[in-house]
């Protein structure tokens, strides 16, 4: 049970024990573990052999060792997370400005339509909503005149408008890329190294084709092999093992359990109660953002031929998500508490429209069991934009129950998706991803890049929605989930610009023939035939220049 | 052959576009056609005893003369019941098959089998039954029944179809009608056990529409189009009695669903079979999805074998059937009906593209390699021509023959991933 990495040498065993216990406290598993350990200690017979070895064996067999191992891994990761205060002034200003624009749009919407930001639902309304909870797609919310607050195009404009006052850009550079700030992004060689497993892993990736037969054993298809292996991995419940397995692509019906292990989004009774509380919050109070969320779902997920069957689930999950202050707290600790749109809405703003509520308070449970009161609008602090529902939709193929979808969404959003619509200098923020996309395309397809420049085609404008939505709504569900497997397994969003650039590479011949941006958009509008894993392999094994 | 001409009974863009693409021209009134995309009535009259028209070697038509053995609900049930009896007798000599031949819900023809039906009804008084007119389509005239009294009421009303259907009564046109009859003959109905626990996704009922191309019945050559779709109801499934008459909950026909308030024209309630199988694989396991697809293929295959002895396998004919299948909550597929003229109107872009590809794929299979309609051709399409199809039954292909090896890639037991690959 002793750790092997060198960083642990700096910590004594005592310190590690303390950090493991702290981590378990955070995860909420400490009590259960202690109880289980006591039980095993009592149950393990005093044989003639080494009691300690017997005990260790018993711990291993009962999964206690794995629990502790997981906690150690997580505590180490937690210690390595630095708070990401934005260091670059101009970036911070740009993000603040963007947030302000969004808030202003929201307030404009409110005054234009004469709706309140927050209001208590009348008991009849609450009754109606409650009875229609399972078919919210038919609940008439009169969202016809609601406008979406912003879309990935607005993000594109914002990214392209960024300027570093300390960096003077010459005329040639001005024309060369859409994004004109000098952020440090990984090179192609860095990517090749980081994602080398995609090309050289021992087992072929599932995304290559589930009917492939294994070398040396032609009776077993790749899918069956992955299923056998995956079932064992699920049983182990070891985070590192699960992450490694997920990289290679999950068999569809194991994906739910594997993602839960990797994202730590297990759903127990406490989680179910919490979700019910959010549901009640939705039923009792109406936020203006509810209407925006519903409008977005109507325009995106409900129209999508792959996801429309799940629209009712998507409504439930999205609305409850917007009431969850846990999201707000996590985002605050991640991005630094100053930079949150939510705090812009002081209690004064919210009540100034004459609604019944005074201050907006939302209660949330931090996982340690403390109750926290926050002021955020909406409570999750996530203002929906056009396409937000697409973060939720694909999860309906992964889980069946609303609670499972909810917690997976929450974990993924906090960990990954929140970076995709936030201006920051973080290596995996949308700005860096945009720069990386352009650099990759410039490096791998210089002729295509010149062709685009000469014909006023803007590749980033086309690729931006793909990256902001993590390709949801563009790839078919099976391929999209393979992509998200890779994102989870490698814990990196850098795959998004890589995939985007490789799509352009794939269609380079057709792109060379067209002469306008609109035609380029048409050529690249249908990604339903894209196979993610082969394309990424091709992209990573290309030679530069 | 200088010009290849086509003739159609109805204007369908997905059909004529494919003819024009091949350089064919529309036949003028005084010339013979090479390829006729007919509706079922004209085809029947063309082949009827009274007709003096004899089809030439270079003429193909898109229906079999007596397709109604499969496509009329009462005849289909009759043929399958007979087939099942024959198969059961051969149980000892039959090759091993785990597939249960009960794939059509218990059905009776009314008024002929009324007594048999009443006996069955009494065995399960709480069951729901569904009444369907034998010769109609698009969900017209269908209603649900829970009490025997409802049937008695229906039979007392004589030609009661007009009470329930939206369209005027269509006299059944099998065989020629006697013009001297004072009133149209009484429309026959079938009554089937209603599948009360269909598989629900998103709380809604759906059925599958699959396209099956048959180029001959002796030997049987049948192909399944890889791209089928599910048709969803727009209203949540509700078994309660007050929803018994709400056809938006129970009937999946697009013609019915289009009239609902919640019909969404963007997707038209159509979900691809690929997504359905992915859903099943994700929530029930890939084995379950694989088995479901295999059982669907078996259902179709057995239904064709059942009617094959009755069919006039005219070499000028081929037919593309629209199979309607419902999956119950235990993932068992049930054959509901077979359509001789599946709708070629399109509701969404995807739909349009699918039907355009379907006709193209049909032409690739029914035409010999030189592209000229030829009734004397041996009807053995190349593997390339079969792209987009799964070979359901090919009685001619003997195991080990070169022809069988050629088509190995598109055998019926393909997994879901194969369906996805051939886009």
DSSP state of B51: -
Q: What is the pLDDT of residue B409?
A: 46
Put simply, whether A134 touches B (Cβ < 8 Å) is yes
Put simply, whether B348 touches A (Cβ < 8 Å) is yes
A256, A303, A476: residue with CB nearest B267: A303
A312, A478, A528: residue with CB nearest B203: A312
Put simply, whether B232 touches A (Cβ < 8 Å) is yes
Distance between CA A68 and CA A57 in Å, rounded? 14
Question: A212, A220, A253, A484: which to substitute to probe chain B, counting the most B Cβ within 10 Å?
Answer: A253
- Cα–Cα distances (Å) from B80 to A357, B55, B223, B299, in that order, read 68, 31, 20, 11
Q: Which residue of chain B has the CA closest to A527?
A: B423
CA of A72 to nearest chain B CA: how many angstroms apart? Answer: 32
A302, A312, A478: residue with CB nearest B278: A478
The answer to whether residue A349 scores a pLDDT higher than 50 is no
Residues 273-302 of B with CB under 8 A from A: 274-275, 278-279, 281-286
- Give chain B's mean pLDDT: 81
Q: What is the pLDDT of residue B371?
A: 86
Structure tokens at A270: 């406490």
Q: What is the pLDDT of residue A63?
A: 79
The answer to whether residue A6 scores a pLDDT higher than 90 is no
Peptide bond into B111 cis (omega under 30): yes
Put simply, whether A161 touches B (Cβ < 8 Å) is no
Determine how β-strand A285-287 pairs with β-strand A213-214.
Answer: unpaired
Closest Cα partner for B323 from B339, B347, B343? B339
Closest Cα partner for B162 from B145, B178, B186, B144? B186
Question: B417, B418, B419, B422: which to substitute to probe chain A, counting the most A Cβ within 10 Å?
Answer: B417
ipTM: 0.87
Q: Which residue of chain A has the CA closest to B233?
A: A309
Q: What is the pLDDT of residue A322?
A: 92
Helix (H) or strand (E) holding B394: strand B389-394
Section B385-402 average pLDDT: 78
Specify whether the CB–CB gap between A459 and A508 falls below 8 A: no
CA of B342 to nearest chain A CA: how many angstroms apart? Answer: 21
Q: Which residues of A touch B278 (CB under 8 A)?
A: 252, 397, 477-478
Lowest mean pLDDT among A189-193, B15-19, B177-181: B177-181
User: Of A171 and A227, which is predicted with more confidence?
Assistant: A227
Q: How confident is the model at residue A346 (pLDDT cuts 50, 70, 90)?
A: very low
Question: A213, A227, A308: which to substitute to probe chain B, counting the most B Cβ within 10 Å?
Answer: A308
Put simply, whether B265 touches A (Cβ < 8 Å) is no
Put simply, whether A209 touches B (Cβ < 8 Å) is yes
Q: How confident is the model at residue A402 (pLDDT cuts 50, 70, 90)?
A: very high
User: Of A122 and B2, which is predicted with more confidence?
Assistant: A122
Section B74-89 average pLDDT: 87
- Give chain A's mean pLDDT: 84
The answer to whether residue A17 scores a pLDDT higher than 80 is yes
The answer to whether residue B1 scores a pLDDT higher than 60 is no
Cβ neighbours around A490 below 10 Å, total: 17
Cβ neighbours around B257 below 10 Å, total: 24
Helix (H) or strand (E) holding A315: helix A311-322
Structure tokens at A246: 């997920």
Cβ–Cβ below 8 Å for A311 and B202: yes
Cβ–Cβ below 8 Å for A308 and B236: no
Put simply, whether A412 touches B (Cβ < 8 Å) is no
Section B57-69 average pLDDT: 90
Sign of CA dihedral B278, B282, B286, B292: negative
CA of B268 to nearest chain A CA: how many angstroms apart? Answer: 9
Which DSSP string do the residues of B223-292 spell out, in sequence order?
Answer: EEES--EEEEEEEE---SGGGTT-HHHH---HHHHTTSTT--TTTTTEEEHHHHHHHHHHHH-HHHHHHH
Q: What is the pLDDT of residue A362?
A: 39
The answer to whether residue A313 scores a pLDDT higher than 90 is yes
B264, B278, B286: residue with CB nearest A308: B264
DSSP state of B364: H
The answer to whether residue A1 scores a pLDDT higher than 50 is no
Question: B204, B261, B286, B351: which to substitute to probe chain A, counting the most A Cβ within 10 Å?
Answer: B286
Determine how β-strand B229-236 pairs with β-strand B5-8.
Answer: unpaired
Tens of pLDDT, residues B27-54: 877 778 888 998 888 888 888 888 888 8
Q: What is the pLDDT of residue A37?
A: 81
Put simply, whether B271 touches A (Cβ < 8 Å) is yes
Distance between CA A358 and CA A349 in Å, rounded? 10
Instruction: Write down the H helix ranges in A237-287.
Output: 239-247, 252-263, 269-284
Q: What is the pLDDT of residue A368?
A: 36
Question: B198, B205, B282: which to substitute to probe chain A, counting the most A Cβ within 10 Å?
Answer: B282
Q: Which residues of B touch A210 (CB under 8 A)?
A: 286, 415, 417
Q: What is the pLDDT of residue B124?
A: 85
Section A225-233 average pLDDT: 91
Q: How confident is the model at residue A495 (pLDDT cuts 50, 70, 90)?
A: very high
Distance between CA B214 and CA A286 in Å, rounded? 57
The answer to whether residue A512 scores a pLDDT higher than 90 is yes
User: Of A442 and A141, which is predicted with more confidence?
Assistant: A442
Q: Which residue has the tokens 């021509």?
A: B385
Section A11-19 average pLDDT: 82
Tens of pLDDT, residues A109-150: 888 888 888 888 888 888 888 988 888 888 877 777 888 888
Put simply, whether A54 touches B (Cβ < 8 Å) is no
Q: What is the pLDDT of residue B206?
A: 92
CA of A387 to nearest chain B CA: how many angstroms apart? Answer: 16
Determine how β-strand B129-133 pairs with β-strand B189-193.
Answer: antiparallel
Q: Which residues of B touch A303 (CB under 8 A)?
A: 264, 266-267
Q: Which residues of B touch A398 (CB under 8 A)?
A: 282
Q: What is the pLDDT of residue B99?
A: 65
Residues 256-275 of A with CB under 8 A from B: 256
B236, B272, B415: residue with CB nearest A211: B415
- Cα–Cα distances (Å) from B351 to A13, A311, B258, B358, B418, in that order, read 64, 21, 15, 10, 21
Q: What is the pLDDT of residue B404?
A: 52
User: Of B396 and B160, which is predicted with more confidence?
Assistant: B396
Distance between CA A50 and CA A535 in Å, rounded? 54
Q: How confident is the model at residue A354 (pLDDT cuts 50, 70, 90)?
A: very low
The answer to whether residue A348 scores a pLDDT higher than 60 is no
Question: B202, B208, B229, B354: which to substitute to probe chain A, counting the most A Cβ within 10 Å?
Answer: B202
Cβ–Cβ below 8 Å for B282 and A252: yes
Q: How confident is the model at residue B398 (pLDDT cuts 50, 70, 90)?
A: low
Distance between CA A231 and CA A245 in Å, rounded? 11
Percentage of chain A with pLDDT > 90? 45
Q: By three-state DSSP, how is residue A341 classified? A: helix
Counting Cβ atoms within 10 Å, is residue A194 exposed (0-12), middle (13-18) or buried (19+)? middle
Q: Which residue of chain B has the CA closest to A310?
A: B202
Tens of pLDDT, residues B339-353: 998 888 888 888 898
Put simply, whether B422 touches A (Cβ < 8 Å) is no
Lowest mean pLDDT among A134-138, B356-360, B407-411: B407-411
Q: What is the pLDDT of residue A355?
A: 36
Q: Which residues of A touch B236 (CB under 8 A)?
A: 134-135
Q: How confident is the model at residue B176 (pLDDT cuts 50, 70, 90)?
A: very low
């Amino acid at each position: 049970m002793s750790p092997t990495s060198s960083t642990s040498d700096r910590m004594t065993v005592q310190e590690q024990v303390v950090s493991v216990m702290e981590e378990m406290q955070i995860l909420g598993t400490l009590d259960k573990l202690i109880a289980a350990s006591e039980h095993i200690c009592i149950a393990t017979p005093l044989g003639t052999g080494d009691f300690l070895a017997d005990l260790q064996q018993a711990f291993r067999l009962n999964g206690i060792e794995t629990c502790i191992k997981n906690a150690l891994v997580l505590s180490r990761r937690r210690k390595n997370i630095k708070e990401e205060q934005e260091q670059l002034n101009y970036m911070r200003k740009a993000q603040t400005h963007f947030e302000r624009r969004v808030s202003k749009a929201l307030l404009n919407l409110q005054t234009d339509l004469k709706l309140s930001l927050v209001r208590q639902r009348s008991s009849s309304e609450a009754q109606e909503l409650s009875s229609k909870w399972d078919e919210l797609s038919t609940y008439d919310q009169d969202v016809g005149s609601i406008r979406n607050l912003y879309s990935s195009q607005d993000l594109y404009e914002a990214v392209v408008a960024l300027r570093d006052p300390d960096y003077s850009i010459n005329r040639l550079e001005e024309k060369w890329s859409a994004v004109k700030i000098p952020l440090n992004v990984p090179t192609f060689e860095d990517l090749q190294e980081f994602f080398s497993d995609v090309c050289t892993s021992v087992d072929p990736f599932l995304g290559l084709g589930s009917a492939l037969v294994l070398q040396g054993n032609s009776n077993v298809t790749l899918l069956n092999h992955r299923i056998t292996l995956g079932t064992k991995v699920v049983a182990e419940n070891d985070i590192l093992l699960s992450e490694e397995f997920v990289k290679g692509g999950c068999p569809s019906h194991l994906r739910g359990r594997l993602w839960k292990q990797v994202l730590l989004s297990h759903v127990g009774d406490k989680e179910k109660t919490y979700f019910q509380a959010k549901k009640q919050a939705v039923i009792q109070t109406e936020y203006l953002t509810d209407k925006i969320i519903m409008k977005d779902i109507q325009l995106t997920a409900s129209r999508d031929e792959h996801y429309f069957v799940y629209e009712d689930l998507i409504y439930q999950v999205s609305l409850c998500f917007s009431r969850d202050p846990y999201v707000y707290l996590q985002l605050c600790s991640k991005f630094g508490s100053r930079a949150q749109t939510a705090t812009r809405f002081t209690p004064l703003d919210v009540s100034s429209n004459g609604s019944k509520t005074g201050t907006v308070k939302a209660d949330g449970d931090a996982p340690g069991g403390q109750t926290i009161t926050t002021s955020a609008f909406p409570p999750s602090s996530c203002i929906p934009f056009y396409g937000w529902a697409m973060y939720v939709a694909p999860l309906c193929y992964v889980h069946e129950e609303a609670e499972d979808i909810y917690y997976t969404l929450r974990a993924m959003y906090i960990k990954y998706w929140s970076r995709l619509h936030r201006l920051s200098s973080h290596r995996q923020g949308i700005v860096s991803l945009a720069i990386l996309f352009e650099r990759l395309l410039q490096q791998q397809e210089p002729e295509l890049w010149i062709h685009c420049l000469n014909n006023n085609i803007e590749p980033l404008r086309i690729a931006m929605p793909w990256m902001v939505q993590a390709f949801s709504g563009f790839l078919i569900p099976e391929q999209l989930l393979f992509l998200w497997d890779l994102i989870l397994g490698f814990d990196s969003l850098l795959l998004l610009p890589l995939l985007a650039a490789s799509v352009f590479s794939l269609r380079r011949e057709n792109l060379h023939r067209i002469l306008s941006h609109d035609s380029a958009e048409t050529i690249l509008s249908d990604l339903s035939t894209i196979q993610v894993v082969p394309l990424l392999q091709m992209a990573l094994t290309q030679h530069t220049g | 052959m200088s010009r290849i001409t086509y003739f159609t009974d109805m204007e369908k863009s997905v059909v004529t576009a494919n003819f024009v693409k091949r350089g064919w021209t529309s036949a003028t009134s005084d010339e013979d056609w090479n390829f006729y995309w007919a509706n079922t009535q004209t085809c029947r009259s063309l082949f009827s005893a009274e007709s003096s028209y004899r089809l030439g070697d270079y003429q193909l038509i898109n229906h079999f003369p007596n397709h109604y053995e499969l496509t009329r609900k009462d005849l289909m049930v009759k043929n399958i019941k007979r087939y099942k009896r024959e198969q059961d007798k051969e149980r000892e000599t039959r090759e091993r098959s785990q597939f249960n031949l009960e794939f059509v819900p218990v059905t009776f023809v009314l008024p002929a089998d009324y007594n048999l039906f009443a006996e069955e009804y009494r065995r399960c008084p709480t069951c729901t039954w569904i009444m369907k007119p034998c010769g109609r389509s698009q969900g017209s005239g269908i209603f649900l029944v829970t009490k025997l009294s409802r049937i008695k009421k229906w039979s007392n009303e004589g030609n009661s179809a007009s009470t329930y259907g939206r369209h005027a009564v269509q006299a059944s046109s099998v065989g020629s009608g006697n013009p001297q009859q004072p009133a149209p003959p009484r429309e026959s109905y079938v009554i089937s056990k209603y599948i009360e626990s269909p598989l629900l996704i998103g709380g809604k009922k759906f059925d599958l529409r699959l396209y099956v191309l048959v180029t001959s019945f002796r030997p049987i050559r049948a192909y399944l189009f890889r791209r089928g779709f599910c048709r969803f109801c727009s209203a949540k499934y509700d078994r309660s009695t007050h929803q018994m008459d709400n056809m938006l909950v129970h009937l999946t026909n697009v013609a019915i669903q289009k009239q609902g308030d919640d019909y969404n024209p963007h997707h038209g309630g159509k979900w691809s079979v690929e997504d359905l199988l992915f859903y099943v694989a994700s929530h029930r396991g890939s084995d379950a999805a694989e088995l479901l697809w295999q059982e669907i293929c078996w259902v179709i295959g057995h239904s064709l074998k059942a009617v094959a002895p009755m069919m006039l396998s005219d070499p000028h004919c081929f037919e593309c059937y629209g199979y309607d299948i419902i999956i119950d909550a235990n993932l068992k597929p049930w054959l509901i009906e077979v359509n001789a003229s599946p709708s070629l109107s399109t509701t969404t872009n995807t739909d349009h593209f699918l039907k355009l590809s379907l006709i193209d794929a049909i032409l690739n299979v029914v035409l010999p390699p030189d592209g000229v309609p030829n009734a004397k051709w041996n009807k053995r399409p190349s593997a390339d021509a079969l792209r987009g199809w799964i070979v359901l039954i090919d009685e001619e292909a003997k195991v080990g023959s070169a022809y069988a090896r050629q088509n190995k890639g598109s055998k019926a037991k393909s997994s879901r991933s194969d369906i996805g690959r051939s886009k």
